[in-house]
Structure 1
């Protein structure tokens, strides 16, 4: 029994990556909200089913009194049929509306302002290249200003990669010969780990980088160096 419990704990811990639930940008916050919302709806369904399951087991358990009783035949219950048909539809609508709204907001790259920072992100085996509007390029670190909208223009030189900084937003595919765009607004200074989340070759694990979110003055100074 102890071995089974230990295996269960190790299995749970091995899959933990709570960085996605510690958002440091508006995009990541919206996506974390969807995770919490879907998890809450799922737990509501599990709770209702569990309560009904236990209730029916208790109500229709075998006793000395009903051991030899033959249950009365029921043709159906229209009220219950309506409830278990309508309730899932309401739950799905409650999940679909914010999901569609947030998805369109994150994908609406055209609705940017003049202050938006544009960064070209080029993936190749086995490194990233981050290019800024003034011609500056970096490889191991992506530097962004806090509280400023950023649009990343992502493309690949060779195979399919996947750009992912868990605390700043969900992963997005980086495709050869095609540009994908990602909009984020970092709202807290710090250093956040980034990686390629798509196996791209033998040195795939080398495609890690750091995203440094700094204040506006420090960013401008770094950009002009």
Structure 2
């Protein structure tokens, strides 16, 4: 029984890790975190007012011996109060809606026809159970994403099988990756560092293993990474050709 009683406290340890969504490392993530904190602040104000009124009513209108036979006046309504609790919530919702609509509209995934032509473009293919990233020089890597800092990174997202969800908590929010429909999503001004990416949509038995590593580097390092990849591919191609030539020569010598 004592062991069972300890379980709730052990489960609380899961909350010891910081919420990376609230520690953003990109302009895109900072805008999303701003909306979270802003809505939380409005909620806190409303909650505070409700608790103050609740406490006031409990104390002022509590039962006492003096009020045992008190009969309050019959009130038909109060226009001032009714206007207040109608207009104030409307104003609060309007204040919250303006930045929400603006940021949500600017960050919404777009179709290929609407895609931003500026920035660095990377093709992202999701499939059970891995991510494939293809850079502009046709460099293809699985489960590892390297991008430059302070640039607009335009991701072309598509799925080969089921619906997945592209998510890098510290850089940007979740975006659904849909089969046979390419969507583009932009992450702006990422800061140098190493981050975790994952699929945020249950996609099968190994969903928990569908993760990828993200590394944000300087633009020079990124260009070196692309050039190094290209040079290695060329060397590998030449090595294969040379090996084939040597093999043909060897066979020719054996024939004679």
TM-score of the superposed pair, with normalisation by structure 1: 0.91
CA distance in 2, matches of 1:164, 1:95: 25
Matches within 5 A, 1:32-181: 32-107=33-108, 110=114, 112=116, 114=118, 116-181=119-184
CA distance in 1, matches of 2:124, 2:144: 11
- Tell me if structure 1 keeps the 8 A contact 2:109–2:185: no
SS at match of 1:200: coil
User: How large is the RMSD of aligned CA atoms in angstroms?
Assistant: 2.3
Q: CA deviation at 1:206?
A: 1.8
Count of aligned residue pairs for this structure pair: 222
By relative contact order (CA 8 Å, sep 6+), the higher-ranking structure is 1
SS at match of 2:95: helix
Larger Rg: 2
SS at match of 1:72: coil
Extract structure 1 runs of 4+ deviating beyond 6 A. 3-6
Q: CA deviation at 1:65?
A: 2.1
Deviations 1:140-181 (A, max 9, x none): 210110000111010001111111100011111111100111
- Tell me if structure 1 keeps the 8 A contact 2:168–2:198: yes
Q: 1:189 to 1:10 in 2, by over 3 A?
A: same
CA distance in 2, matches of 1:147, 1:61: 60
Q: Give the equivalent residue in structure 2 for 1:191.
A: 194
Matches within 5 A, 1:180-219: 180-219=183-222
5+ residue gaps, structure 1: none
- Tell me if structure 1 keeps the 8 A contact 2:122–2:133: yes
Q: CA deviation at 1:200?
A: 1.1
5+ residue gaps, structure 2: 229-256
Q: Give the equivalent residue in structure 2 for 1:26.
A: 27
Larger helix proportion of the pair? 2
Q: 1:152 to 1:111 in 2, by over 3 A?
A: closer
CA distance in 1, matches of 2:169, 2:198: 9
Q: 1:91 to 1:4 in 2, by over 3 A?
A: farther
Q: 1:199 to 1:25 in 2, by over 3 A?
A: same
CA distance in 1, matches of 2:115, 2:174: 21
CA distance in 2, matches of 1:24, 1:4: 39
- Tell me if structure 1 keeps the 8 A contact 2:109–2:184: no
